[in-house]
Amino acid sequence: MAAKKPNIIFFHIDNLGQGELGCYGGGILRGAETKRIDQFAQQGLKLTHYVVEAQCTPTRSALMTGRYSIRSGNHTVALAGSSGGLVAWERTMADVLTDAGYATSCVGKWHIGAEDGRWPTDHGFDEWYGPAHSYDECLWTEDPFYDPRRDPVSYMFEGTKENGVQELKDQQLTPELRINVDVEYQKRAMDFIKRSVDAEKPFFLYHNHSMMHLPNVPREEFKGKSGNGDWADCLVEMDHDFGQILDLVDEMGIADNTIVVFAGDNGPEEMQLWRGTSGFYEGSYFTSAEGGIRTPCLIRWPGKIPAGQSSNEMVHVTDMFTTLLKMAGSDVPEDRIIDGIDQTEFFLGKQENSSREGCVLFVGDQMHGVKWKDFKLMFKKQKYFFDSVPPLGFVNLINLITDPKEREPINHQHLHTWVMAHAGKILKEFQSSLKQEAPIPAGAPLDFRPDRDKK
């Protein structure tokens, strides 16, 4: 009898710094315990070197396609009025899992396409509910210069693969709706899990929680819960919501056959009043600083992934695409460049080291540097969202073990110049891949196909 395919739940957190959760050194130091998440961290593998891209759209694109966002033309955050997103040629994790017989659902922010042909339901998901872009749009109605008779109005959307996506004219994205939006996400996510189990179908739930994206205002039931203000109350709320999903998995009797991933999409929120923290590192989202590209990631698969494990080995967000597909028994697309590396043996505890040594770092369309193990070779330097980004006069080599805050003076770099050989190899392989398959330009039409095997 064939082994039953594992269910997959990817619980994605928006703008989560590595200093927020108790299991990463935050929790009570951030004004609120994260009891359920901390407990979950003991049930599987905790990664402390999970590398994402610098912004929401790039990371979500990389996760869904297994490709650096610069390849798919999704290397910068999508705003209202912008065109683009995933072209039809791209194959997402949901596309591949659908072909393998999975039920698929996306709740919450998609952010890699906001028009027909680019919605989640056009890229493998059976159903979706969420905003077209992101949650800052709820603040439009608070702006004294905003006029809904003249300016765009942001609504929630829902759709299915069969019937397409509709704009919900009775659900304008306002501060009031944003406060309670995760209640609807939870309801739809839990209903999807129940329906899938009843239908005896393996499922993939891509659950995009709205926290900790601005504005961070808690639901009424969590108001004052932490005693440390709205931001800490929202941390309690997010912890509670994740716990609800775990409780349902237990109630349905599917925990042993369900891979659950809890991960952030980029570094912390930088806007006041909702500023987050990257903890041990420095930096915010929209930067190549370690705090901007390193975020929590926890993985549980009872009986398969050893419990109570923690590793500082590097894993890139694209690896999740390849690894989860392999764990599901699916083949990774071979007709395109895939940057994700299969980490199955590492996750299952069959090898001590990650299968990845490094990656390239982009912020928008600018290459900022190359990571190799615990070193960074940087061509540009930026720590926080509003910092200017002048090119460095000479490459800056950073040892993240001895200098986690990335403050090492440039005249110290000669201590590690041998690292340049490793970083140079990664860079050379990446540049060679661009000749094999040209990147899809930002804003490319839906039917665009990349040039391959260019000479």
| Residues carrying an active site annotation | 56, 111
User: Distance of alpha carbon 428 from its chain centroid, rounded?
Assistant: 26
Burial readout 51-73 (b: 16 or more C-beta within 10 A, e: otherwise):
bbbbbbbbbbbbbbbbbbbbbbb
3 state DSSP class of 156: strand
CA distance 328 to 324: 6
Rounded-to-integer distance, Cα 317 and Cα 18, Å: 15
CA distances from 137 to 55, 80, 134, 215, 265 (A): 17, 8, 6, 10, 19
Q: Is the backbone peptide bond immediately before 156 cis, with ω within 30 degrees of 0?
A: no
Q: What whole-number distance in Å separates Cα of residue 228 and Cα of residue 309? A: 31
End-to-end CA distance of the chain: 48
- Cβ atoms of 265 and 59 within 8 Å: the answer is yes
Of 384, 380, 412, 408, give the one whose Cα is nearest residue 393.
Answer: 380
Query: What does residue 429 show for φ and ψ, rounded to 5 degrees?
Result: -65, -40
